[in-house]
Amino acid sequence: MRYFIELSYNGKAYHGWQNQPKSISVQEVIEDSLSKLLSETIAIVGAGRTDTGVHASQMFAHFDTEMAFMEDDLVFKLNSFLPKDIAVHTIFKVKAEAHARFDALSRTYLYRITLKKNVFTFDNVFYVKQDLDVDKMNEASQTLFQYKDFQCFSKSKTDVKTFDCDIMKAEWFFKDGELHFVIKADRFLRNMVRAIVGTMINIGLGKLNLDDLHHIITSKNRSEAGFSVPAHALYLIEVAYPNNLKL
């Protein structure tokens, strides 16, 4: 049987989602826990590959097993077994061909910024000391919908067949005293969100304008875009799937 697992994690202690040769990853910790509880070697496939230090309030992965178990019981046991920075929410049966990565219709990320120094949130939010022109940043966000190729925001030497992404949502807004950026797309390139946010901040600071953004995107050159903001304020908040995957 194939199962989907829905989980969340604080990425501070991990070198990203994906297994690494000499560094601890979220995937490794979950695979190890599942393997011990089900008494067989379990491999999981995630909906995406968050980078070192990036968090997820909603992540999905799939795994296969012939072992019989009660889903709620396994959720309880996993949460007792896993470290405090990883939580499992649900486990459910899906069709044999269902795939956590390839069947995802969209992913949504949140980036959190504070414009005031806060001693309680510095581990989770990026502190920007200067004033930002949020209206200009939202104008810049709308510019993203005019393009598909976002190579300029991709990490160099990335092994992908295409740099095309279909951006469905991109907006800045204030919430609970923080400045939030939410972006939704069918897929994201490595470092893409953090590079977009860094570029938008430069626009909000007046260092770049909208014409510069058009030039950056059409250049397809990462060195033309803005800085990459820190990972600790980035969250994967939603992964959407077709309704017909569940059994």
- Residue 51 annotated as catalytic: yes
Q: In this structure, what token pair is assigned to residue 212? A: 């510069």
The neighbour count for residue 173, using CB atoms within 10 Å, is 11
Whole-angstrom Cα distance, residue 48 to residue 187? 9
Residue of 32, 51, 123, 176 marked catalytic: 51
Measured CA to CA, the distance from residue 159 to residue 190 in angstroms comes to: 10
161-170: long-range pairs with CB below 8 Å, 24+: 163/189, 163/220, 165/189, 165/192, 168/106, 169/108, 170/141, 170/142, 170/144, 170/145, 170/196
Residue 109, beta-bridge partner list: 183, 236
Give Cα 28 to chain centroid, integer Å: 18
Cβ 130 vs Cβ 208: under 8 Å:
no
- Per DSSP (E only), the strands in 135-246 are 167-175, 178-185, 234-240
| Residues known to be catalytic | 51
